[in-house]
Structure 1
Amino acid sequence: MQTQNRTHPNKPSEKSLRKARNRLSAKIASEKMAGVPKMDSTEAVTDPVITPFLMAMEDEGFVTQKEDSQALKIDRCPRCQQSSRFAFRGNTGEFKLCALCHN
């Protein structure tokens, strides 16, 4: 039996991901130029993969689901085994999607 290597149909487009990465990079560069201390910077509290992924999902109209405590709903991905699978709500209802493997 052959398994398919499929990604989720609601994953962000490459264009959205690229735009989000560029926005994040520009913000980090701007803060460095302005002399923002490293510990107070965006760079200190972002991840170069997960943050643009979440930004791109938001840009495409998906809402990241949160716990009652307002923390993001995150699970371990069954495919890549990383704690990077987020819960979203979109026009097709609720779904989960991994920021790393898009499963």
Structure 2
Amino acid sequence: MPQIPSAEALRHARAALATETETIAKAGGRAPVTDPVITPFVRALRAGGFTIQTSASGCDALGTCPACQNRYLYTALRAGLAHAVCPHCRDAADRKAAVAGAARASAGPCPPDRVGWRGAAIAAPPA
């Protein structure tokens, strides 16, 4: 299975986060609260052209990773495919599900043509 995001993208995201945190600290500001695993992982996904599936409230929709049992299984959307990816395992299980409106999937609250947890399309609510 492919590694999503790539090791290079993840290294770049970690370095950028470290530089950003250092710059803020040198300026006398308070560094933002980040996670050493999750934050670079999400940044690398977005830099790689992925969007992240969100809930109706606009928060990242997370599941439980079947491999490591951590509760950070993201659904990364790109090119009409939904990929189940864990920042701890990073093994991408292609869901092989066509995704309608994948480019809009993380733009605020879920659009009517959003994708369910298992990659199945969720019907638009009645108007």
TM-score of Structure 1 vs Structure 2, range by shorter chain: 0.7 to 0.9
Which among 8, 15, 23 is matched to residue 16 of structure 2? 23
Which among 88, 93, 98 is matched to residue 100 of structure 1? 88
Matched, 1:68 2:61: no
Flag the structure with more relative contact order, 1 or 2, with Cα contacts below 8 A and sequence separation at least 6: 1
Where do 1:1-103 residues align within 5 Å?
Answer: 8-9=1-2, 11-37=4-30, 41-42=31-32, 44=33, 46-103=34-91
Q: 1:102 to 1:77 in 2, by over 3 A?
A: same
Segments ≥4 residues shifted beyond 3 Å: none
**Structure 2 stretches lacking a partner, 5+ long:** 92-127
Q: Which amino acid aligns with 2:35?
A: D
TM-score normalised over the length of structure 1: 0.81
**Structure 1 stretches lacking a partner, 5+ long:** 1-7
Question: Which protein has the bigger helix share?
Answer: 1
| 1:28-77 Cα distance to aligned partner (Å, 9 max, x none) | 1011111113xxx32x2x11111111111111111111111000011111
Give 1:10 deviation, angstroms: 5.4
Identity of aligned residues (%): 32
TM-score normalised over the length of structure 2: 0.67
